[in-house]
Structure 1
Amino acid sequence: MNTEDFDFDLPEELIAQTPLKNRAASRLLVLDRDKDSLRHKRFSDITGYLQEGDCLVLNDTRVLPARLYGIKQDTGAKVEVLLLHQREEDTWEVLVKPAKKVKPGTVIQFGGGKIHATCTEMLDHGGRILRLEYDGILYEILDELGEMPLPPYIKEQLPEKERYQTVYAKEEGSAAAPTAGLHFTNELLDKIKSMGVTIVFITLHVGLGTFRPVSVESVDDHTMHAEFYHMSKEAANTLANVRANNGRIIAVGTTSTRTLETIARDNHGDFRETSGWTDIFIYPPYRFQAIDGLITNFHLPKSTLIMMVSAFAGKDRIMNAYREAVEQRYRFFSFGDAMLIL
């Protein structure tokens, strides 16, 4: 299957630059696979498509304000650093700009010396390993100095950092938000739980590789970056119980989907308490083992994410739904509208 098969025309003005004031006020395109139908709703209407015994699976990762601006200690040259993931306690894999200025031994200062970072290694993909030195709690310092690592297609500034977090974000470690979850409010989640729908939290720390377009001609030649995931014993037992009682498991976002499918694949279709790194790449004609429904945003052309939703709903259905979304002026990408696939 070719990458070009997942391309579509998207007017630039449909790329959402700012989040809506009310999270649940975004639009919702409902794709029913059995009826082969599309319906236009509001996200708050999602309760009409859930039923007692269902289970929503949410990714509780929290985005780090991981973009830092510093200077080289020896020359004063400006350097931009993006923390990707923690290797050890104070050792991080990062991206730097301009990369040619940062070599092993380079020391970068942030916040007038609140953080000193020493480059210890150059990586094959252009990244670097930095060893951080600081006084206090790193996450508190990042909250003070760091910026949210918004995707490059968002040009507007984000005045409130929390608006790029889900309301249930808890586990620090992501370089990007699990954006399907941005539509939920605490009030909406309470209403869903009162209907007899179970809420389960799992964790996948989102890396930037998830969102990058596929640059190879054949989909088979693309390599995914690995991301860390965790499922607790309580979550695994709850999901097993939902499945045993014929309830539907509905993943909130592609990150939750990748986690669930990785665990099911590695455990013969079962859910188990586990942690690890996943580089699972889901594209047609993948056979899903874990989920019965999916809540997701609208994704970039030729990305691994549109390939995943095409595997779940069928490529022709998805491309038709995307054409409909463009015609109806839906908002796309991270701060955009949502799709429910059942």
Structure 2
Amino acid sequence: MRERAGASTAKLWLLMSADRRLVALAIVAFLFLGVFVGGIVHPTPAHQLVTASDSVDTLSQALVGSTVTGVTLVLTLSQLVLSQEQGAVGDQRERMEEATTFRSDAAAVLEEPVSPTEPSAFLRALVEATQRRADDLDAAVADLERDDVRERIEEYVDSIRENAEEVSEGLEGAHFGEFDVIKAALNFNYSWKLYTARRLRNEYEGTLSRNALDCLDDLAGVLELFGPAREHFKTLYFQWELIDLSRTILWVSLPSLLASTWALLYFDGDAPPAFLFGLPVSLFQIAAVVAVALLPFAVLLSYILRIVTVTKRTLSIGPFILRETDRDVDLEE
């Protein structure tokens, strides 16, 4: 995934793979250090800076108001997510019929009586079916007279095998609700594979045997199922994440309000300065208040970073390639 994304491993880990709680804590630590270091390097003594005016009261009032407003918005977001799961019995029956039809189509392609129920197992079955179709294609062109065509198809098959093995390993043992399922599915660049299968069939229709053409059609059929399956599970995962986000923000809003209220009611700018490790205690207090008060924002930012990154990487569905890094230049030349 890193090679196709054109980004560093550390950046991808931060945006997608890292535990969102760790990312939120890192943002809070950055806010604390930013305020704390800013107070140290400022030419005016820190205690005098925070007690010379009513800036602490003004800041605390603004933080209380922003926290209450943010929680209200989160509750609205939760209602929107839940409203998608509500509807008349006819709508629910239509959704079930569409899901059942899709599962039946997948079972026919997988040549199984029933398709897997768990998202990770379902996607893994499609990936392994893609690899089997690629093996059939490789066997169908083994005796092809044109070496250039055979080598091009063999290179295509090898790329499918390598990618499919990596994705299957990532999906093994993964559970829905964890990012591992979506992460592994994102690593399977089915759009390029589908485009290349159709292009090879069109370019060499007069050269390939009937069996090889059928293998290309079967391969494209499996890939056409992987696209909507991935999008469906991605949508369910987003709903899962938004629900977790709403619940987490509601919990962290309590210490956020408590910190802002404490600063508003109990911070005494007229008290004689106290020092800890040679630094004013008031600076520690203000930095802690800002960090804790902005904790809901840190949680929101950590979740949204992952959601928007995944959304950007999956804007298109089917044989549309929006990013140059998703292409295999050697096979397209």
Same-fold status (TM-score > 0.5)? no
TM norm structure 2: 0.25
More helix by share: 2
Kindly name which structure, 1 or 2, has the bigger radius of gyration based on alpha carbons. 2
TM-score of the superposed pair, with normalisation by structure 1: 0.24
